[in-house]
Chain A
Amino acid sequence: MNLFSVISFGIVATILAVIVRQTRPEQALLISLGAGCIIFGFVFSQLRELLSWWKSLASEFGFINTYLSPLIRILGVSYLTQFASQACRDAGEGAVAMKLDLAGKVVVLALSAPILKTILELIKNIL
Protein backbone atom coordinates (compact mmCIF):
# COMPACT_ATOMS: atom_id res chain seq x y z
CA MET A 1 0.00 0.00 0.00
CA ASN A 2 1.56 3.29 -1.03
CA LEU A 3 1.03 6.70 0.53
CA PHE A 4 -1.42 7.80 -2.18
CA SER A 5 -3.69 4.80 -1.41
CA VAL A 6 -3.54 5.53 2.32
CA ILE A 7 -4.46 9.19 1.79
CA SER A 8 -7.34 8.23 -0.51
CA PHE A 9 -8.51 5.61 1.95
CA GLY A 10 -8.40 8.10 4.82
CA ILE A 11 -10.38 10.73 2.94
CA VAL A 12 -13.02 8.21 1.83
CA ALA A 13 -13.34 6.82 5.38
CA THR A 14 -13.72 10.34 6.79
CA ILE A 15 -16.47 11.25 4.26
CA LEU A 16 -18.24 7.97 4.98
CA ALA A 17 -18.03 8.49 8.75
CA VAL A 18 -19.39 12.04 8.46
CA ILE A 19 -22.35 10.87 6.33
CA VAL A 20 -23.14 7.86 8.53
CA ARG A 21 -22.80 9.87 11.76
CA GLN A 22 -25.96 11.86 10.92
CA THR A 23 -28.15 8.72 10.97
CA ARG A 24 -26.13 6.00 12.81
CA PRO A 25 -23.47 7.55 15.08
CA GLU A 26 -22.44 4.15 16.56
CA GLN A 27 -21.59 2.84 13.07
CA ALA A 28 -19.64 6.03 12.28
CA LEU A 29 -17.47 5.27 15.31
CA LEU A 30 -16.79 1.77 13.99
CA ILE A 31 -15.85 3.18 10.58
CA SER A 32 -13.52 5.66 12.24
CA LEU A 33 -11.88 2.95 14.38
CA GLY A 34 -11.55 0.53 11.45
CA ALA A 35 -9.96 3.21 9.25
CA GLY A 36 -7.61 4.12 12.09
CA CYS A 37 -6.51 0.46 12.43
CA ILE A 38 -5.85 0.11 8.70
CA ILE A 39 -3.83 3.35 8.56
CA PHE A 40 -1.91 2.28 11.67
CA GLY A 41 -1.18 -1.07 9.99
CA PHE A 42 0.37 0.85 7.08
CA VAL A 43 2.39 3.01 9.45
CA PHE A 44 3.52 -0.08 11.35
CA SER A 45 4.77 -1.87 8.23
CA GLN A 46 6.80 1.23 7.33
CA LEU A 47 8.07 1.51 10.89
CA ARG A 48 9.09 -2.15 10.83
CA GLU A 49 11.24 -1.54 7.76
CA LEU A 50 12.80 1.49 9.42
CA LEU A 51 13.51 -0.48 12.59
CA SER A 52 15.04 -3.44 10.73
CA TRP A 53 17.38 -0.97 9.00
CA TRP A 54 18.17 0.58 12.38
CA LYS A 55 18.76 -2.88 13.87
CA SER A 56 21.22 -3.87 11.13
CA LEU A 57 23.09 -0.58 11.60
CA ALA A 58 23.14 -1.08 15.36
CA SER A 59 24.58 -4.60 15.00
CA GLU A 60 27.19 -3.24 12.61
CA PHE A 61 28.36 -0.75 15.24
CA GLY A 62 28.60 -3.41 17.95
CA PHE A 63 25.43 -2.49 19.78
CA ILE A 64 24.83 -5.04 22.55
CA ASN A 65 21.76 -7.14 21.74
CA THR A 66 20.66 -7.08 25.40
CA TYR A 67 19.67 -3.44 24.98
CA LEU A 68 18.61 -3.61 21.35
CA SER A 69 15.43 -5.69 21.83
CA PRO A 70 14.09 -3.74 24.85
CA LEU A 71 14.52 -0.47 22.96
CA ILE A 72 12.59 -1.71 19.93
CA ARG A 73 9.91 -3.19 22.17
CA ILE A 74 9.60 0.09 24.03
CA LEU A 75 9.10 1.93 20.76
CA GLY A 76 6.45 -0.58 19.63
CA VAL A 77 4.63 -0.47 22.97
CA SER A 78 4.64 3.34 22.91
CA TYR A 79 3.16 3.55 19.41
CA LEU A 80 0.51 0.88 20.08
CA THR A 81 -0.57 2.30 23.44
CA GLN A 82 -0.68 5.84 22.15
CA PHE A 83 -2.78 4.74 19.17
CA ALA A 84 -5.18 2.71 21.32
CA SER A 85 -5.62 5.43 23.94
CA GLN A 86 -6.23 8.03 21.21
CA ALA A 87 -8.89 5.77 19.66
CA CYS A 88 -10.56 5.51 23.08
CA ARG A 89 -10.49 9.29 23.44
CA ASP A 90 -12.06 9.66 19.98
CA ALA A 91 -14.85 7.36 21.14
CA GLY A 92 -15.35 9.58 24.16
CA GLU A 93 -13.91 7.05 26.61
CA GLY A 94 -11.36 9.24 28.36
CA ALA A 95 -11.23 7.05 31.48
CA VAL A 96 -10.33 3.91 29.51
CA ALA A 97 -7.75 5.92 27.54
CA MET A 98 -6.12 7.02 30.77
CA LYS A 99 -5.92 3.44 32.02
CA LEU A 100 -4.42 2.32 28.72
CA ASP A 101 -1.80 5.06 29.05
CA LEU A 102 -1.01 3.87 32.54
CA ALA A 103 -0.69 0.27 31.38
CA GLY A 104 1.65 1.34 28.58
CA LYS A 105 3.80 3.39 30.96
CA VAL A 106 4.11 0.48 33.38
CA VAL A 107 5.14 -1.89 30.57
CA VAL A 108 7.73 0.64 29.29
CA LEU A 109 9.11 1.05 32.82
CA ALA A 110 9.32 -2.73 33.24
CA LEU A 111 11.14 -3.05 29.91
CA SER A 112 13.59 -0.32 30.83
CA ALA A 113 14.38 -1.79 34.26
CA PRO A 114 17.44 -3.81 33.01
CA ILE A 115 18.83 -0.69 31.33
CA LEU A 116 18.33 1.35 34.50
CA LYS A 117 20.03 -1.38 36.53
CA THR A 118 23.06 -1.41 34.21
CA ILE A 119 23.41 2.38 34.31
CA LEU A 120 23.18 2.44 38.10
CA GLU A 121 25.88 -0.25 38.30
CA LEU A 122 28.06 1.78 35.94
CA ILE A 123 27.62 4.91 38.06
CA LYS A 124 28.42 2.87 41.17
CA ASN A 125 31.64 1.65 39.54
CA ILE A 126 32.61 5.14 38.45
CA LEU A 127 32.06 6.64 41.88
Chain B
Amino acid sequence: MTKKLLVTVILLFCFFSFSASAGDVTKDEVLREFNAVGAERLLKETELPAIVYELLPDFDPHKLSVELLNSREIASPMSLLKCIADFFFAELTSGKEGIAQILLISFLSGLLGVLTKTFGQAGIGEVAFMPCYLLISGIGLSLFHGIAGFVRDCLAFAVEFMNASLPVYSSLVIMMDKGATGLLNPAITTCVFLMANFVRSIIFPAIFLSATVSVAEHFSAAVPLHRLNQFFKKSIRWILCFVATVFAALLTISQVATRTLSGIGGRAGKYVIGNLVPVVGGFLTETLDTLFTCAGVIQGVVGIVGVVIIAILFISVLLRVLARIWLLQIASAISEAISDTRISAFLADLSETMSLLLAALACVMVSFIIYLSMLIRVGSGG
Protein backbone atom coordinates (compact mmCIF):
# COMPACT_ATOMS: atom_id res chain seq x y z
CA MET B 1 0.00 0.00 0.00
CA THR B 2 2.82 2.34 1.02
CA LYS B 3 4.66 1.45 -2.16
CA LYS B 4 1.61 2.27 -4.27
CA LEU B 5 1.16 5.58 -2.49
CA LEU B 6 4.81 6.42 -3.13
CA VAL B 7 4.40 5.57 -6.81
CA THR B 8 1.35 7.84 -6.94
CA VAL B 9 3.22 10.71 -5.29
CA ILE B 10 6.18 10.46 -7.66
CA LEU B 11 3.88 10.23 -10.66
CA LEU B 12 1.99 13.23 -9.37
CA PHE B 13 5.26 15.13 -9.18
CA CYS B 14 6.13 14.20 -12.71
CA PHE B 15 2.83 15.49 -14.05
CA PHE B 16 2.52 18.34 -11.62
CA SER B 17 5.58 19.80 -13.26
CA PHE B 18 3.52 19.85 -16.47
CA SER B 19 0.86 22.08 -14.97
CA ALA B 20 3.40 24.18 -13.10
CA SER B 21 5.61 25.02 -16.03
CA ALA B 22 3.10 25.00 -18.84
CA GLY B 23 3.10 28.78 -19.06
CA ASP B 24 5.02 31.72 -17.65
CA VAL B 25 4.08 31.43 -14.01
CA THR B 26 5.45 33.04 -10.89
CA LYS B 27 6.74 31.18 -7.85
CA ASP B 28 3.65 32.10 -5.85
CA GLU B 29 1.42 30.71 -8.56
CA VAL B 30 3.44 27.52 -8.61
CA LEU B 31 3.18 27.22 -4.82
CA ARG B 32 -0.58 27.85 -4.98
CA GLU B 33 -0.97 25.18 -7.62
CA PHE B 34 1.24 22.89 -5.59
CA ASN B 35 -1.20 23.12 -2.70
CA ALA B 36 -4.25 23.05 -4.95
CA VAL B 37 -3.44 19.68 -6.47
CA GLY B 38 -3.09 18.21 -2.99
CA ALA B 39 0.62 17.51 -3.36
CA GLU B 40 1.40 19.09 -0.01
CA ARG B 41 -1.09 16.87 1.84
CA LEU B 42 0.04 13.77 -0.02
CA LEU B 43 3.68 14.52 0.71
CA LYS B 44 3.02 14.98 4.37
CA GLU B 45 0.98 11.80 4.62
CA THR B 46 3.21 9.58 2.51
CA GLU B 47 5.24 7.14 4.48
CA LEU B 48 8.55 6.62 2.74
CA PRO B 49 10.49 3.36 3.20
CA ALA B 50 12.42 3.23 6.49
CA ILE B 51 15.73 2.94 4.65
CA VAL B 52 15.29 6.51 3.31
CA TYR B 53 15.22 7.84 6.88
CA GLU B 54 18.12 5.60 7.85
CA LEU B 55 20.26 7.39 5.28
CA LEU B 56 18.80 10.87 5.77
CA PRO B 57 17.09 11.06 9.18
CA ASP B 58 15.81 14.61 8.60
CA PHE B 59 14.51 14.01 5.10
CA ASP B 60 11.21 15.77 4.48
CA PRO B 61 9.90 15.55 0.90
CA HIS B 62 7.44 18.39 1.45
CA LYS B 63 10.12 20.72 2.81
CA LEU B 64 12.41 19.72 -0.04
CA SER B 65 9.81 20.56 -2.68
CA VAL B 66 9.08 23.96 -1.10
CA GLU B 67 12.80 24.74 -0.90
CA LEU B 68 13.17 23.75 -4.54
CA LEU B 69 10.23 25.89 -5.58
CA ASN B 70 11.81 28.85 -3.80
CA SER B 71 15.20 28.06 -5.44
CA ARG B 72 16.89 27.71 -2.07
CA GLU B 73 19.78 25.41 -1.23
CA ILE B 74 18.34 22.10 -0.08
CA ALA B 75 21.34 20.66 1.76
CA SER B 76 25.02 21.35 2.14
CA PRO B 77 27.35 18.83 0.46
CA MET B 78 29.21 18.31 3.74
CA SER B 79 26.07 17.36 5.68
CA LEU B 80 25.10 14.97 2.88
CA LEU B 81 28.54 13.37 2.93
CA LYS B 82 28.33 13.06 6.71
CA CYS B 83 24.94 11.31 6.42
CA ILE B 84 26.35 8.91 3.81
CA ALA B 85 29.46 8.17 5.92
CA ASP B 86 27.32 7.64 9.04
CA PHE B 87 25.01 5.29 7.19
CA PHE B 88 27.93 3.33 5.72
CA PHE B 89 29.64 2.89 9.08
CA ALA B 90 26.34 1.94 10.74
CA GLU B 91 26.00 -0.75 8.07
CA LEU B 92 29.51 -1.98 8.75
CA THR B 93 28.71 -2.16 12.46
CA SER B 94 25.43 -3.98 11.91
CA GLY B 95 27.20 -6.69 9.90
CA LYS B 96 29.98 -7.22 12.43
CA GLU B 97 28.21 -10.08 14.24
CA GLY B 98 27.99 -12.27 11.16
CA ILE B 99 31.62 -11.59 10.29
CA ALA B 100 32.75 -12.28 13.87
CA GLN B 101 30.91 -15.61 13.75
CA ILE B 102 32.61 -16.49 10.47
CA LEU B 103 36.01 -15.66 11.96
CA LEU B 104 35.31 -17.69 15.11
CA ILE B 105 34.46 -20.76 13.06
CA SER B 106 37.51 -20.10 10.89
CA PHE B 107 39.57 -20.18 14.06
CA LEU B 108 38.04 -23.54 14.99
CA SER B 109 38.74 -24.94 11.56
CA GLY B 110 42.29 -23.61 11.97
CA LEU B 111 42.58 -25.80 15.07
CA LEU B 112 41.45 -28.75 12.96
CA GLY B 113 44.07 -27.84 10.39
CA VAL B 114 46.71 -27.97 13.14
CA LEU B 115 45.44 -31.45 14.03
CA THR B 116 45.78 -32.63 10.45
CA LYS B 117 49.29 -31.18 10.15
CA THR B 118 50.39 -32.67 13.51
CA PHE B 119 49.38 -36.21 12.69
CA GLY B 120 50.33 -35.89 9.07
CA GLN B 121 47.03 -37.40 7.91
CA ALA B 122 44.03 -35.65 6.43
CA GLY B 123 41.58 -38.33 7.67
CA ILE B 124 39.18 -37.15 10.31
CA GLY B 125 40.48 -33.57 10.34
CA GLU B 126 39.23 -33.23 6.76
CA VAL B 127 35.81 -34.64 7.65
CA ALA B 128 35.58 -32.33 10.68
CA PHE B 129 36.38 -29.38 8.42
CA MET B 130 33.13 -30.03 6.55
CA PRO B 131 30.67 -28.79 9.25
CA CYS B 132 32.88 -25.76 9.89
CA TYR B 133 32.84 -24.88 6.22
CA LEU B 134 29.11 -25.53 5.95
CA LEU B 135 28.40 -23.29 8.91
CA ILE B 136 30.55 -20.51 7.47
CA SER B 137 28.85 -20.85 4.11
CA GLY B 138 25.48 -20.77 5.89
CA ILE B 139 26.33 -17.51 7.63
CA GLY B 140 27.74 -16.09 4.39
CA LEU B 141 24.63 -17.07 2.46
CA SER B 142 22.39 -15.59 5.16
CA LEU B 143 24.26 -12.29 4.84
CA PHE B 144 23.86 -12.52 1.08
CA HIS B 145 20.19 -13.41 1.33
CA GLY B 146 19.53 -10.53 3.72
CA ILE B 147 21.14 -7.95 1.46
CA ALA B 148 19.54 -9.46 -1.64
CA GLY B 149 16.14 -8.87 -0.01
CA PHE B 150 16.78 -5.12 0.01
CA VAL B 151 17.95 -5.20 -3.59
CA ARG B 152 14.90 -7.23 -4.59
CA ASP B 153 12.56 -4.73 -2.88
CA CYS B 154 14.30 -1.86 -4.62
CA LEU B 155 14.02 -3.55 -8.02
CA ALA B 156 10.40 -4.48 -7.33
CA PHE B 157 9.68 -0.83 -6.60
CA ALA B 158 11.34 0.26 -9.86
CA VAL B 159 9.43 -2.31 -11.88
CA GLU B 160 6.15 -1.47 -10.15
CA PHE B 161 6.71 2.20 -10.84
CA MET B 162 7.44 1.55 -14.50
CA ASN B 163 4.44 -0.71 -14.86
CA ALA B 164 2.24 1.96 -13.29
CA SER B 165 3.64 4.85 -15.29
CA LEU B 166 3.99 3.28 -18.72
CA PRO B 167 0.30 3.59 -19.79
CA VAL B 168 0.19 7.26 -18.73
CA TYR B 169 3.52 7.79 -20.38
CA SER B 170 2.34 6.29 -23.68
CA SER B 171 -0.80 8.44 -23.60
CA LEU B 172 1.35 11.52 -23.12
CA VAL B 173 3.50 10.58 -26.11
CA ILE B 174 0.41 10.59 -28.25
CA MET B 175 -0.83 13.90 -26.82
CA MET B 176 2.49 15.78 -26.92
CA ASP B 177 3.96 17.61 -29.85
CA LYS B 178 6.85 16.24 -31.93
CA GLY B 179 9.53 17.66 -29.63
CA ALA B 180 8.38 15.54 -26.77
CA THR B 181 7.77 12.58 -29.03
CA GLY B 182 11.33 12.81 -30.28
CA LEU B 183 12.60 12.73 -26.75
CA LEU B 184 10.31 9.98 -25.70
CA ASN B 185 11.81 7.43 -27.96
CA PRO B 186 9.69 4.35 -27.40
CA ALA B 187 12.76 2.18 -27.88
CA ILE B 188 14.45 3.76 -24.86
CA THR B 189 11.34 3.39 -22.75
CA THR B 190 11.05 -0.23 -23.75
CA CYS B 191 14.75 -0.75 -23.07
CA VAL B 192 14.52 0.71 -19.54
CA PHE B 193 11.40 -1.29 -18.89
CA LEU B 194 12.99 -4.49 -20.19
CA MET B 195 16.22 -3.87 -18.30
CA ALA B 196 14.49 -3.61 -14.92
CA ASN B 197 12.35 -6.67 -15.62
CA PHE B 198 15.31 -8.56 -17.07
CA VAL B 199 17.50 -7.89 -14.04
CA ARG B 200 14.70 -8.87 -11.69
CA SER B 201 13.65 -12.07 -13.40
CA ILE B 202 16.85 -13.37 -15.02
CA ILE B 203 19.97 -11.72 -13.60
CA PHE B 204 18.80 -11.86 -10.02
CA PRO B 205 18.07 -15.64 -9.91
CA ALA B 206 21.34 -16.26 -11.80
CA ILE B 207 23.26 -14.35 -9.12
CA PHE B 208 21.59 -16.48 -6.44
CA LEU B 209 22.50 -19.62 -8.34
CA SER B 210 26.09 -18.45 -8.63
CA ALA B 211 26.25 -17.83 -4.85
CA THR B 212 24.93 -21.34 -4.20
CA VAL B 213 27.32 -22.93 -6.67
CA SER B 214 30.26 -21.16 -5.00
CA VAL B 215 29.39 -22.98 -1.74
CA ALA B 216 29.79 -26.31 -3.50
CA GLU B 217 32.78 -25.12 -5.52
CA HIS B 218 35.03 -24.50 -2.50
CA PHE B 219 33.66 -27.37 -0.46
CA SER B 220 36.08 -29.92 -1.83
CA ALA B 221 38.63 -30.23 -4.59
CA ALA B 222 36.84 -33.45 -5.53
CA VAL B 223 33.85 -31.40 -6.73
CA PRO B 224 35.08 -29.53 -9.82
CA LEU B 225 32.56 -26.70 -10.14
CA HIS B 226 34.95 -23.85 -10.74
CA ARG B 227 34.19 -23.60 -14.45
CA LEU B 228 30.44 -23.78 -13.89
CA ASN B 229 30.61 -20.93 -11.39
CA GLN B 230 32.79 -18.91 -13.75
CA PHE B 231 30.29 -19.58 -16.51
CA PHE B 232 27.47 -18.14 -14.38
CA LYS B 233 29.47 -15.09 -13.43
CA LYS B 234 30.71 -14.44 -16.94
CA SER B 235 27.20 -14.87 -18.33
CA ILE B 236 25.82 -12.36 -15.83
CA ARG B 237 28.58 -9.89 -16.70
CA TRP B 238 28.08 -10.33 -20.43
CA ILE B 239 24.32 -9.98 -20.21
CA LEU B 240 24.61 -6.86 -18.05
CA CYS B 241 27.18 -5.35 -20.40
CA PHE B 242 25.05 -6.22 -23.42
CA VAL B 243 21.88 -4.67 -21.99
CA ALA B 244 23.82 -1.63 -20.82
CA THR B 245 25.48 -1.19 -24.21
CA VAL B 246 22.15 -1.46 -26.04
CA PHE B 247 20.72 1.15 -23.68
CA ALA B 248 23.69 3.49 -24.16
CA ALA B 249 23.51 3.03 -27.93
CA LEU B 250 19.80 3.82 -27.99
CA LEU B 251 20.40 6.94 -25.94
CA THR B 252 23.11 8.10 -28.30
CA ILE B 253 21.02 7.42 -31.38
CA SER B 254 18.01 9.27 -30.08
CA GLN B 255 20.28 12.22 -29.29
CA VAL B 256 19.10 12.59 -25.77
CA ALA B 257 22.62 13.45 -24.67
CA THR B 258 22.77 16.92 -26.10
CA ARG B 259 24.91 18.42 -23.42
CA THR B 260 28.25 17.13 -22.22
CA LEU B 261 29.39 16.87 -18.70
CA SER B 262 32.04 19.37 -17.94
CA GLY B 263 33.99 20.75 -15.01
CA ILE B 264 36.36 19.15 -12.53
CA GLY B 265 33.55 17.76 -10.36
CA GLY B 266 31.96 16.05 -13.31
CA ARG B 267 35.24 14.62 -14.55
CA ALA B 268 36.12 13.38 -11.06
CA GLY B 269 32.68 11.80 -10.75
CA LYS B 270 33.13 10.06 -14.09
CA TYR B 271 36.57 8.80 -13.11
CA VAL B 272 35.35 7.45 -9.77
CA ILE B 273 32.31 5.73 -11.28
CA GLY B 274 34.31 4.35 -14.17
CA ASN B 275 36.93 2.83 -11.91
CA LEU B 276 35.05 1.85 -8.79
CA VAL B 277 31.74 0.47 -10.01
CA PRO B 278 32.39 -3.11 -11.05
CA VAL B 279 31.44 -4.58 -14.42
CA VAL B 280 29.28 -1.73 -15.72
CA GLY B 281 31.41 1.18 -14.53
CA GLY B 282 32.35 2.03 -18.11
CA PHE B 283 28.75 2.09 -19.21
CA LEU B 284 27.75 4.26 -16.26
CA THR B 285 30.48 6.74 -17.10
CA GLU B 286 29.20 6.97 -20.65
CA THR B 287 25.62 7.44 -19.55
CA LEU B 288 26.58 9.94 -16.87
CA ASP B 289 26.62 12.68 -19.48
CA THR B 290 23.03 11.85 -20.27
CA LEU B 291 22.17 11.58 -16.61
CA PHE B 292 23.55 15.03 -15.92
CA THR B 293 21.83 16.41 -18.99
CA CYS B 294 18.55 15.01 -17.73
CA ALA B 295 19.25 16.30 -14.25
CA GLY B 296 19.85 19.69 -15.85
CA VAL B 297 16.54 19.44 -17.67
CA ILE B 298 14.59 18.81 -14.53
CA GLN B 299 16.37 21.27 -12.32
CA GLY B 300 14.02 23.78 -10.82
CA VAL B 301 11.07 21.53 -11.44
CA VAL B 302 9.06 20.02 -8.62
CA GLY B 303 9.50 16.59 -10.17
CA ILE B 304 13.07 16.47 -8.89
CA VAL B 305 11.65 15.47 -5.50
CA GLY B 306 10.56 12.18 -7.03
CA VAL B 307 14.01 11.63 -8.48
CA VAL B 308 15.57 12.51 -5.11
CA ILE B 309 13.39 9.94 -3.35
CA ILE B 310 14.28 7.28 -5.91
CA ALA B 311 17.97 8.20 -5.75
CA ILE B 312 18.00 7.99 -1.94
CA LEU B 313 16.26 4.63 -2.08
CA PHE B 314 18.75 3.20 -4.55
CA ILE B 315 21.83 4.83 -3.00
CA SER B 316 21.00 3.55 0.47
CA VAL B 317 20.67 -0.01 -0.86
CA LEU B 318 23.86 0.40 -2.90
CA LEU B 319 25.71 1.58 0.22
CA ARG B 320 24.34 -1.36 2.16
CA VAL B 321 25.58 -3.83 -0.48
CA LEU B 322 28.93 -2.05 -0.60
CA ALA B 323 29.33 -2.32 3.18
CA ARG B 324 28.64 -6.07 3.05
CA ILE B 325 31.12 -6.55 0.21
CA TRP B 326 33.72 -4.76 2.28
CA LEU B 327 32.99 -6.85 5.37
CA LEU B 328 33.23 -10.08 3.39
CA GLN B 329 36.54 -8.97 1.88
CA ILE B 330 37.89 -8.23 5.36
CA ALA B 331 36.67 -11.62 6.64
CA SER B 332 38.26 -13.32 3.65
CA ALA B 333 41.60 -11.59 4.27
CA ILE B 334 41.65 -12.48 7.98
CA SER B 335 40.46 -16.08 7.55
CA GLU B 336 43.21 -16.68 4.99
CA ALA B 337 45.73 -16.13 7.78
CA ILE B 338 44.05 -18.27 10.44
CA SER B 339 42.29 -21.00 8.54
CA ASP B 340 41.97 -23.14 5.46
CA THR B 341 42.32 -21.31 2.14
CA ARG B 342 39.01 -22.79 0.97
CA ILE B 343 37.14 -20.62 3.49
CA SER B 344 38.84 -17.42 2.40
CA ALA B 345 38.32 -18.37 -1.25
CA PHE B 346 34.60 -18.91 -0.63
CA LEU B 347 34.25 -15.56 1.16
CA ALA B 348 36.10 -13.75 -1.63
CA ASP B 349 33.89 -15.49 -4.17
CA LEU B 350 30.74 -14.49 -2.30
CA SER B 351 31.85 -10.86 -2.16
CA GLU B 352 32.47 -11.02 -5.91
CA THR B 353 28.95 -12.36 -6.43
CA MET B 354 27.65 -9.52 -4.26
CA SER B 355 29.46 -7.04 -6.49
CA LEU B 356 27.42 -8.44 -9.39
CA LEU B 357 24.32 -7.59 -7.38
CA LEU B 358 25.71 -4.08 -6.94
CA ALA B 359 26.41 -3.78 -10.67
CA ALA B 360 22.90 -4.92 -11.62
CA LEU B 361 21.34 -2.48 -9.18
CA ALA B 362 23.54 0.41 -10.34
CA CYS B 363 22.55 -0.39 -13.91
CA VAL B 364 18.84 -0.29 -13.11
CA MET B 365 19.26 2.84 -11.00
CA VAL B 366 20.91 4.86 -13.77
CA SER B 367 18.43 3.77 -16.42
CA PHE B 368 15.53 4.37 -14.03
CA ILE B 369 16.65 7.90 -13.21
CA ILE B 370 17.03 8.65 -16.93
CA TYR B 371 13.53 7.27 -17.46
CA LEU B 372 12.16 9.44 -14.66
CA SER B 373 13.89 12.50 -16.09
CA MET B 374 12.30 11.78 -19.45
CA LEU B 375 8.95 11.37 -17.78
CA ILE B 376 9.31 14.74 -16.11
CA ARG B 377 10.46 16.28 -19.37
CA VAL B 378 7.22 15.11 -20.96
CA GLY B 379 5.33 16.59 -18.03
CA SER B 380 6.98 19.94 -18.68
CA GLY B 381 5.95 19.88 -22.30
CA GLY B 382 9.14 18.49 -23.88
Contacts and interface: CB of A to CB of B under 8 A. Distances in A.
A83 to B, nearest CB: 8
Interface stretch (A4-12, A13-21, A29-37, A57-65): A57-65
Contact of B125 (A50, A63, A78, A115): A78
Given A104-B124, A118-B138, A119-B134, A78 B104 contact: no
Interface residues of B, number: 34
Contacts of A81: 124
The 3 closest A-B pairs by CB, nearest first: A112-B131, A61-B100, A78-B128
Contact of B212 (A47, A112, A116, A123): A123
A82 B101 CA distance: 27
A57 to B, nearest CB: 6
B101 to A, nearest CB: 5
B141 interface: yes
Contact of A125 (B104, B119, B135, B145): B145
A61 B141 contact: no
A77 B128 CA distance: 9
B327 interface: no
A63 B101 contact: yes
A88 interface: no
Contacts of A67: 135
A119 B211 contact: no
A118 B137 CA distance: 11
A61 B128 CA distance: 23
B194 interface: no
B99 to A, nearest CB: 9
Given A63-B104, A78-B115, A105-B127, 11 more contacts: A61-B100, A71-B135, A78-B127, A104-B124, A115-B131, A119-B137, A122-B141, A123-B212, A123-B215, A126-B145, A126-B208
A112 B109 CA distance: 14
Given A71-B105, A82-B115, A122 B142 contact: yes
B107 interface: yes
Contacts of B244: none
A10 to B, nearest CB: 14
- Size class of the A contact interface (CB-based, 8 Å): 35 or more
B208 A127 contact: yes
B108 A108 contact: no
B146 to A, nearest CB: 11
B58 interface: no
Contacts of B100: 57, 61
Given A105-B123, A126-B208, A61 B130 contact: no
B132 interface: yes
B111 interface: yes
Greatest chain A CB density within 10 A among B97, B115, B131 is at B131
B115 A126 contact: no
Nearest to B137: A119
B134 A116 contact: yes
Interface string A23-65: 0000000000000000000000001001000100110011100
B214 to A, nearest CB: 11
Contacts of A58: 101, 104
